[in-house]
Amino acid sequence: MPWRNSSKPKLVGVVGVGSFGAAIANMLAEKNPVMVYARKEETVSEINNSHTAAGRDLNPGIVATSSPEELCKACEILFFMIPSAGFMEVVKNFAPHLHPYHLIIHGTKGLSLNLPGGESLETVKSLRRSQILTMSEVILQETVAVRVGCLAGPNIAKELSLGHPAATVIASKYNEVILEGQRLLRSEKFQVYGNSDIVGVELSGVLKNIIAIAAGALAGLGLGENAKGLLISRGMVEMVHLSKALGGSVQSVIGLAGVGDLVTTCNSVDSRNFTVGYRLAKGETLDQILETMEEVAEGINTVRIIDAFLKTAGIRAPITESLHRVLFEGSSIEEALQFLMKFPFSVDIDFV
């Protein structure tokens, strides 16, 4: 019987048990039985025997499997919580076992590429919108799933795991996806809003990572609160123009998934993207930073993709362009800052 016609608690699946996946699995386990997928057998054994994942405590009722088939057979509702770099591969591994009755909500803030065989970002140099996929578009392209949604907002995993008050947005074209996500996740300490603009919400979560890297760089240079306020406000304007060019709405950017998440990640030492910028400003190279980071900072790949998109979009995104020069073209943080301070902005807000 389909999940939506039954009042009996259903087993909910979570794909990925990194810091965010573990936090979401624990939150889901407060109301429903949960099964998580982990690729490594040793991680599965750790979860099932010790109720931990890489040292992170998990609800004792959570069970684990390394079989996509087992998870898909047992769970009609799946939460995909995996880094964007491995998202396509994982979705393809799950595709043979997914059916139209599955409901999928992902929490991955990243972009993927839709390029011909053999092509890569290094070879194409410029990108059109049709060559850029949000994570929901990856799911729809690679599987037969129909009811797809995303989860986005100021959701730092460390704070969620401590039970601090927070909120998120569930976005989907299907109202039943939003309602189901709210039912499963909403609690006294966690508010869940709905939004039908899934593209805009996904893009907000992606684009704010670029600004977070820049915010970390400002903090690393010790440039103060005025500079941070300037960056966040100009960053929001840049996010609006980029989101509109990529098919999202202004409303989503100025909501919880956009401005809410932007302010959080631009002020948090627990943000991976903020940390990348901070360490760059302190003199480390990108390679040195990546070698020592436990989890991927999604903003790095986003900078590359959006910079390539700008070459066909006919718009300017000075913060993104400056960061691309720092990350991949050998420019210094100081040179990027000089460029931004001299950029000829003529008005404050130009999108309303």
Q: How far apart are CA 53 and CA 44, in angstroms?
A: 8
Confidence (pLDDT) at 1? 36
Closest CA to 153 of 294, 252, 9: 252
Place of tokens 């593209």: 199
Q: What are phi and psi of 148, to 5 degrees?
A: -125, 140
Q: Is 282 a catalytic residue?
A: no
Confidence (pLDDT) at 351? 66
Confidence (pLDDT) at 307? 96
**Per-domain residue ranges for the chain?**
3-196, 200-342
Confidence (pLDDT) at 92? 97
Task: Given the residues 31, 109, 208, 311, select the one marked as catalytic.
Answer: 208
Q: How far apart are CA 272 and CA 296, in angstroms?
A: 7
Mean pLDDT by 10 residues, the chain (352 residues): 54 96 97 96 96 94 98 98 93 98 96 87 89 97 98 94 96 98 96 97 96 95 92 94 96 95 93 94 94 88 96 92 95 89 74 60
The continuous run of DSSP H or E covering 281 comes out as helix 272-281
Axis-axis angle for helices 298-313, 198-221 (nearest 10): 110
Confidence (pLDDT) at 4? 47
Residues in the chain, overall count = 352
Query: Is there a contact between 192 and 185 (Cβ–Cβ < 8 Å)?
Result: yes
Query: Is there a contact between 301 and 290 (Cβ–Cβ < 8 Å)?
Result: no
Confidence (pLDDT) at 108? 95
Q: What is the pTM of this model?
A: 0.92
Confidence (pLDDT) at 3? 45
Q: How far apart are CA 215 and CA 218, in angstroms?
A: 5
Q: Top-level CATH class of 200-342?
A: mainly alpha
Q: Apex CA 232: angle with CA 230 and CA 233, to 5°?
A: 65
Alpha-carbon distances, residue 198 vs 3, 183, 241, 260, 265 (angstroms): 22, 18, 17, 16, 21
DSSP state of 4: G
Query: Is there a contact between 13 and 38 (Cβ–Cβ < 8 Å)?
Result: no
Q: How far apart are CA 293 and CA 284, in angstroms?
A: 13
Confidence (pLDDT) at 8? 61
> Looking at the domain 3-196, which fold is it?
Rossmann fold (3.40.50)
Contacts of 246 (CB under 8 A, 6+ apart): 129, 132, 199, 203, 309
